[in-house]
């Protein structure tokens, strides 16, 4: 296991986290949240993504308890939940259901899982678009495997997580979040082709610029339904493309969109966004290689415009942040990040303006929506791992 997963030490955990989880655990694991520089909603369309793990983690402390139950405590929520290993089912407590779905995946692979106690605490803001859900899944999955001496590759873990999402939770997403949380490396992003899961690490040096996430602090209640709607719409668009181009396997394959008479404007917009977003990913990498951060910023702006007008997964709050960030001196680009309908914008800004920018945007946002936004400077970091003995 040590040869596959990251190893981290106590000096890599904040003292506040150590104080929360305490001592006397058999296994401590962690998994990071993630950002996606560009390439949104392309993952389940066989396209290109450009994610990175970030320096905000979810931690899991586990010990066997000699029963057939999981006694789970979410320390930040001050909530406890007991999971019966003989009757894994949806309960409506979402964080616990994520754990149940992973447990079911182990059982379906023939592993005999013992009962254990687990306490979890998180630096990854929930609903921010940094994918706290993937951090939860990958961290608990890694802890269960270590606790039971089960050898799993990172790709095994990613597949188990996706299966749980699709089959147990009913969330029909791709693998971008789990991949990012698992494979992350410090100061590097990963350009992945989701069609064949090939990827390369890309060193990131932003010089006097940095990445700042701004959390809109809203999560509209159509997030899951809207996400699944987009998955279905893309499948419908693909079926119409295949009438003209039978060889096309995904919306990210090469074809001439002008040749397709889509049955609705909605399907055309979904397909054209995916094609354009994949091209933006390619151009973003080229701009990075040429140290052209200005072009990187323009591509971020273009991505947001497409996500708002063509893919229609933005919202008033995210559009407000994007519009106002674009007009700020020292901001190269901004876009919404994640599934949509709330969460964060990712912003490429000059480091020297961060404090003034935060004050300005915070005031404008509160004046408009009466909501206080949250701000997270982030650095690219290592992926999921186990605390060394």
Condensed to tens digits (0 to 9), the pLDDT of residues 105-140 reads: 999 999 999 999 999 999 998 766 788 999 999 999
Percent of the chain with pLDDT over 90: 89
Domains of the chain, CATH where assigned: 6-203+381-387 (3.30.230.10), 209-378 (3.30.70.890)
- pLDDT recorded at residue 126: 77
Indicate the pLDDT class of residue 227, thresholds 50, 70 and 90. confident
Residue 210, strand partner residues: 349
In terms of Cβ atoms closer than 10 Å to its own Cβ (0-12, 13-18, 19+), residue 358 is: middle
Mean pLDDT of 196-217: 95
Mean pLDDT of 241-258: 96
- pLDDT recorded at residue 267: 98
CB 47 within 8 A of CB 250: yes
Task: Reply yes or no on whether the pLDDT at 3 is more than 50.
Answer: no
Percent of the chain with pLDDT over 70: 97
Mean pLDDT of 338-365: 95
The order of strands in the sheet holding 27-36 is 6-8, 385-387, 27-36, 51-64, 116-122, 69-74, 79-84
Mean pLDDT of 348-377: 97
- pLDDT recorded at residue 221: 63
Among 193, 183, 219, 247, which residue's Cα sits nearest to residue 317? Answer: 219
Task: Reply yes or no on whether the pLDDT at 1 is more than 60.
Answer: no
3-state secondary structure of 38: coil
Please state the φ and ψ torsions of residue 184, each to the nearest 5 degrees.
Answer: -55, 150
Task: Reply yes or no on whether the pLDDT at 230 is more than 50.
Answer: yes
Mean pLDDT of 311-324: 96
Q: Is the pTM of this model over 0.85?
A: yes
CB environment 185-195: b (16+ within 10 A), e (fewer): beebbbbbbbe
Q: What is 170-203 written as a DSSP string?
A: -----SHHHHHHHH-BTTEEEEEETTTTEEEEEE
Give the Cβ contact number of residue 52 at 10 Å.
27
Indicate the pLDDT class of residue 2, thresholds 50, 70 and 90. very low
Mean pLDDT of 11-15: 91
Strand 116-122 with 69-74, pairing = parallel
Q: Known catalytic residues?
A: 177
């Amino acid at each position: 296991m040590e040869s596959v997963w990251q190893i981290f030490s106590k000096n890599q955990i904040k003292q506040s986290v150590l104080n929360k989880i305490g001592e006397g655990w058999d296994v401590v694991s962690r998994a990071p949240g993630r950002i996606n520089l560009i390439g949104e909603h392309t993952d389940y369309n066989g396209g290109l993504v450009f994610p990175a793990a970030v320096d905000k983690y979810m931690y899991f402390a586990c010990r066997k308890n000699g029963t057939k139950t999981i006694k789970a405590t979410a320390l930040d929520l001050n909530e406890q939940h007991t999971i019966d290993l003989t009757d894994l089912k949806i309960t409506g407590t979402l964080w616990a259901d994520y754990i149940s779905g992973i447990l079911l995946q182990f059982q379906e692979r023939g592993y005999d899982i013992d009962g254990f106690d687990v306490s979890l605490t998180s630096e990854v803001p929930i609903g921010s678009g940094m994918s706290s859900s993937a951090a939860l899944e990958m961290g608990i999955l890694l802890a269960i495997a270590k606790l039971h001496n089960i050898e799993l590759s990172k790709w095994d873990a990613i597949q188990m997580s996706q299966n749980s999402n699709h089959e147990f939770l009913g969330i029909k997403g791709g693998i971008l979040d789990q991949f990012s949380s698992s494979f992350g490396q410090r100061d590097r992003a990963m350009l992945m082709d989701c069609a064949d899961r090939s990827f390369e690490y890309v060193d990131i040096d932003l010089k006097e610029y940095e990445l700042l996430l701004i959390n809109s602090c809203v999560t509209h209640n159509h997030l899951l339904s809207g996400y699944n709607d987009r998955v279905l719409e893309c499948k419908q668009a693909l079926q119409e493309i295949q009438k003209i181009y039978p060889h096309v396997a995904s919306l990210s394959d090469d074809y001439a969109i002008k040749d397709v008479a889509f049955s609705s404007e909605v399907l055309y917009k979904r397909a054209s966004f995916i094609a354009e977003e994949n091209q933006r990913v390619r151009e973003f990498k080229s701009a990075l290689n040429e140290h052209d951060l200005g072009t990187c910023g323009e591509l971020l702006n273009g991505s947001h415009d497409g996500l708002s007008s063509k893919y229609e997964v933005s919202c008033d709050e995210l559009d407000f942040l994007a519009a106002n960030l674009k007009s700020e001196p020292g901001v190269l680009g901004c876009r919404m990040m994640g599934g949509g309908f709330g969460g964060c914008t990712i912003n490429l800004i000059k480091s020297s303006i961060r404090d003034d920018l935060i004050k300005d945007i915070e005031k404008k946002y509160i004046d408009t929506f009466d909501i206080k936004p949250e701000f997270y400077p982030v650095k690219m970091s290592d992926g999921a791992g186990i605390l060394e003995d």
